Amino acid sequence: MTDLPLYQYALIGLVFVWSGFVRSGLGFGGAVLSLPFLLLIHEDPLVFLPIISIHLLFFRH
C-alpha cells in the first residue's frame, strides 16, 4: 500500500470516516458498505481487507 498516491490515501481516509458514521448511525454495515467505494479508489481488495479487519477489531460496538 506504500505505492499509492497521496490523494488516494486521503480518499481512503474519507471513506473510513464515512463508514464510521454509517456504522454508528445504522448499527451495522460499515465495512460492507465501504468496500465498494474503496474498490473504486484502488481495484485490489487485498490492499483493504487487513485495514478493514483492524477497523472492525478496534471500533466495534
pLDDT, one tens digit per residue, over 12-61 is: 999 988 888 887 777 777 778 889 999 999 999 898 888 888 877 876 65
Q: How many domains does the chain have?
A: 1
Cβ-contact 2, 12 below 8 angstroms: no
In angstroms, rounded to a whole number, what is the distance separating the alpha carbons of residues 29 and 37? 13
Instruction: State residue 52's pLDDT score.
Output: 85
In angstroms, rounded to a whole number, what is the distance separating the alpha carbons of residues 42 and 40? 6
Would the pLDDT of 3 be above 80?
Answer: yes
Instruction: State residue 7's pLDDT score.
Output: 95
The verdict on residue 8 lying in a domain is no
State the residue range of the domain holding 34.
27-61
Q: How confident is the model at residue 10 (pLDDT cuts 50, 70, 90)?
A: very high
Residues 6+ apart with CB under 8 A from 31: 19, 23, 52, 55, 56
Instruction: State residue 60's pLDDT score.
Output: 64
The verdict on residue 21 lying in a domain is no
